[in-house]
Amino acid sequence: MKISFIGLGNMASAIVRGIAAAHDDASFIIGYNRTTTKTEALAAETGITAATTIEQAAQADILFLGVKPQQLHEIAAQLRPHLRNEQLVVSMAAGKDLNALQALFGHDAFMRIMPNVNAAVGHSTTSYAVSDAVTTAQQLQAVTLLEATGSMIALPEEQFAIFSAIAGAAPAFHYLYMDAIARAAVKEGMAKPIALQIAADAVLGSAKMVLESQTHPIELVDQVCSPGGTTIEGVMTLKAHSFEHAVHESVHAVIEKDRTFE
C-alpha cells in the first residue's frame, strides 16, 4: 500500500512524522508540496519518498489533502484527471464537509478528519467521518494508519465544527496558557526553560487526573483550594478577569470562522 500527502504544511507534516515514527521504513509515504524545499527537508528527516509532481502523489491508494481550505479548489483542478474510483481521499480541512469535497473533486470515496498538531508526538485526538462510498477495508486502513498519531473518534459531521474548536484549535490555547504561566514565573524570578517544563508537566498531570480520576474538574479545583490558602486567591483572580468567559468566547469564535469555509 502507498499513501500520499499533498501539501506538507504544519498539520500534514505532523501526521507524517507520527506515521513515519511508527514504521521502520517510511518510503511507502509519498510527500508532495508546492515549495519543494519543504518536501526535501521532511523526506530527509523521516525517510518518506519525495514527489516533485502531483501526478506522482496521485498514484497512491490513500491520498491525504494537507492544503488550506481556500487552496482545495486549485488542488481539485489538478487532481481530478488522475483520481480513480478505488482510491480513498482524506481531507483534514476545517469547515469542508463530505458533500462539498465530493462535489469539488468529482470523487465519491472521501474521509474527513480533524486532527491536531500533537500528531507529531503521537497524541492527536482525531475525529473522522466517511462517505457512503468508502469500504470497510478502506476505513480500517486509514484509521489504523492514523492511530499512530493518537486516538481516533468516529464523529457525526454536524459535530465537526465543535470538535475542530476544542481539539483541532485548542492546542494553541493550551500552548498559550503554558507560556503565560511560565512567563509569569519569569517575572517572579525563575528561568523560562525550567518554568515552561514545570508548567507543561503540571498540565500533563492535570489532564491525566481529569481523564483517570473519575472526579469532576470542579471538584478537583476544590481539592487544590485549601480554605484561606493560596490557590483560592489565584482562582478568584482568574474569575475576576473573566477567564471562563474568554475561553467560551474563543471556542465560539473558532466555530464561527469554521462555518465561513463551508
Ligand X SMILES: NC(=O)C1=CN([C@@H]2O[C@H](COP(=O)(O)OP(=O)(O)OC[C@H]3O[C@@H](n4cnc5c(N)ncnc54)[C@H](OP(=O)(O)O)[C@@H]3O)[C@@H](O)[C@H]2O)C=CC1
Ligand Y SMILES: O=C(O)[C@@H]1CCC=N1
The contact set with ligand X (CB under 6 A) reads 6-12, 33-35, 38, 66-69, 71, 74-75, 92-94, 114-117, 168
**Of residues 165-224, which lie at the interface with ligand Y (CB under 6 A)?**
168-169
Nearer of residues 116 and 149 to ligand X, judged by Cβ? 116
Binding region for ligand Y (CB under 6 A) out of 37-45, 98-106, 136-144, 164-172: 164-172
Shortest CB 164 distance to ligand Y, Å: 5
Q: Which does 71 bind (CB under 5 to 8 A by kind): ligand X, ligand Y, none?
A: ligand X
- Least distance in angstroms from the C-beta of 90 to ligand Y: 15
User: In angstroms, what is the minimal distance from the CB of 168 to ligand X?
Assistant: 4
Q: Is residue 67 involved in binding ligand Y (CB under 6 A)?
A: no
Query: What's the min distance (Å) between Cβ of 226 and ligand X?
Result: 38
115 is an interface residue for ligand Y by CB under 6 A:
no
The smaller minimum CB distance to ligand X, of residues 2 and 68, is found at 68
Place of cell 475542530: 164
Q: Specify the amino acid at residue 135.
A: T
CB of 258 to ligand Y, least distance (A): 8
Binding to ligand Y, residues 80-99 (CB under 6 A): 94
How many angstroms separate the first and last alpha carbons of the chain? Answer: 32
Backbone angles phi, psi at 153, to 5 degrees: -125, 120
Residues near ligand Y (CB under 6 A) are 94, 164, 168-169
